[in-house]
Amino acid sequence: MKPMIYLDNNATTPLDPRALEAMMPYLKEKFGNAASRNHAFGWEAEAAVEKAREQVAAVINASPKEIVWTSGATESNNIAIKGTVRMYRDQGRHVITQVTEHKAVIDPCKYLAGEGVETTFLGVDRQGRISMDELRAAVRPDTVLVSIMFANNEIGTIQPIAEIGAFCKERNIIFHTDATQAFGKVPIDVEAMGIDLLSVSGHKIYGPKGVGALYVRRRKPRVRCEAVLHGGGHERGMRSGTLNVPGIVGLGAAAEIALREMPAERVRVARMRDRLWQILDSQLDDIYLNGDIVNGLPGTLNVSFSYVEGESLMMGFSNIAVSSGSACTSASLEPSYVLKSLGVGDELAHSSIRFSLGRFNTAEEIEQAGRQVVATVRRLREMSPLAEMAAEGIDLSKVQWAGH
Amino acid sequence: MAYSDKVLDHYNNPRNIGSLDKDNPAVGTGIVGAPECGDVMKLQIQVDENRRIVDARFKTFGCGSAIASSSLATEWVKGKTLDEALQIKNTEIVRELALPPVKIHCSVLAEDAIRAAIADVKRKLDGARPGNPDVAATASAG
- Which domains, and CATH codes, for chain A? 5-10+262-392 (3.90.1150.10), 17-257 (3.40.640.10)
Query: CA-CA distances (angstroms) from residue B56 to A359, A379, B33?
Result: 49, 20, 19
Whether the CB of A395 is below 8 Å from some CB of chain B: the reply is yes
**DSSP annotation of A118:** E
Are B60 and A385 an interchain contact pair (Cβ–Cβ within 8 Å)? yes
Q: Following CA atoms A280, A284, A289, A294 in sequence, which dihedral angle do they give, to the nearest 10 degrees? A: 50
CB-CB under 8 Å, B67 with A403? no
Closest CA to A280 of A162, A367, A193, A201: A367
In this prediction, residue B11 carries a pLDDT of 95
pLDDT category of residue A326 using cuts at 50, 70 and 90: confident
Using 50, 70 and 90 to split pLDDT, how confident is the model at B129?
low
Q: Which residue of A has its CA nearest to B112?
A: A404
CB contact under 8 A, B139 and A335: no
Active site residue A328: yes
How many CB atoms are located within 10 Å of the residue A284 CB? 16
Note whether A393 contacts B: Cβ–Cβ < 8 A. no
- The band of A84, judged by pLDDT with boundaries at 50, 70 and 90, is very high
Pairing relationship of beta strands B39-47 and B53-61 according to DSSP bridges: antiparallel
pLDDT at A95: 98
Check residue B88 and give its pLDDT.
96
Is the Cβ–Cβ distance between A313 and A377 less than 8 Å?
yes
Q: Does A334 touch chain B (CB under 8 A)?
A: no
Mutation site, B1, B7, B13, B61, interface A, largest A CB count within 10 A: B61
d(CA A211, CA A245): 9
Q: Which of A374, A332, A383 is nearest to A353 (CA)?
A: A374
The pLDDT assigned to B142 comes to 32
Nearest CB to B67 within list A312, A333, A335: A312
Nearest to B59 among A316, A383, A392 (CB): A383
Q: Is the per-residue pLDDT at B130 higher than 60?
A: no
Spatial separation of the C-alpha atoms in residues B15 and A139, rounded to whole Å: 59
- pTM metric for this prediction: 0.93
Nearest CB partner across the interface for A401, out of B34, B102, B140? B34
**Shortest alpha-carbon distance between residue A318 and chain B (Å):** 11
Question: CA A187, A193, A199: angle at the middle one, nearest 5?
Answer: 70
Residue B127 has pLDDT above 70, yes or no: yes
- Position A51 confidence tier, pLDDT thresholds 50, 70, 90: very high
The Cα of A339 is separated from the nearest Cα of chain B by a number of Å equal to 13
Of A307, A328, A385, the CB nearest to B63: A328
Per-residue pLDDT band at B2 (split at 50, 70, 90): confident
Instruction: Kindly report which listed range (A210-219, A248-257, A328-337, A361-370) carries the lowest average pLDDT score.
Output: A328-337
Per-residue pLDDT, averaged over A378-383, amounts to 96
Residue A68 one-letter amino acid: V
pLDDT tens sequence across B40-85: 999 999 999 999 999 999 999 999 999 999 999 999 999 999 999 9
**A309, A388, A395, A400: best mutation site toward chain B, by most B Cβ within 10 Å?**
A309
The string of pLDDT tens digits covering residues A122-177 is 999 999 999 999 999 999 999 999 999 999 999 999 999 999 999 999 999 999 99
Contact at CB, B139 and A311, closer than 8 angstroms: no
Q: Tell whether A321 lies on the interface with B, counting CB pairs under 8 A.
A: no
Helices B5-12 & B64-77, crossing angle to 10 degrees?
80
Interface contact flag, B61 A308, Cβ < 8 Å: yes
Q: Which helix (H) or strand (E) holds A3?
A: none
| H/E run at residue A289 | strand A287-290
Partner-chain contact A395 B61, CB within 8 Å: no
pLDDT at B140 > cutoff 60: no
Q: Round to whole Å and give the CA distance between A181 and A199.
A: 10
Put the strands of the sheet holding B27-34 in their side by side order: B27-34, B39-47, B53-61
CA distance A376 to A137: 46
Using a CB–CB cutoff of 8 Å, tell me whether A391 touches chain B: no
Phi, psi of A96 (to 5 degrees): -120, 130
Interface test mutation site (partner A, options B10, B63, B107, B112, max chain A beta carbons within 10 A):
B63
Which amino acid, residue A15? L
Residue A259 CA to residue A197 CA, distance in Å, equals 19
Q: Nearest-CA residue of chain A relative to B33?
A: A403
| Among A45, A11, A62, A70, CA closest to A251 | A70
| Whole-number pLDDT of residue A329 | 59
Mean residue pLDDT of chain A comes to 95
**Residues of B near A (CB-CB distance < 8 A)?**
3, 8, 11, 14, 17, 19, 31-42, 58-64, 66-67, 102, 105, 108-109, 112, 116, 135, 138-142
Give Cα B99 to chain centroid, integer Å: 17
Euclidean distance between CA atoms B99 and A281, whole angstroms: 35
Contact flag B39-A382 (C-beta cutoff 8 Å)? no
Q: What is the pLDDT of residues A242-272, one digit of tens each?
A: 999 999 999 999 999 999 999 999 999 999 9
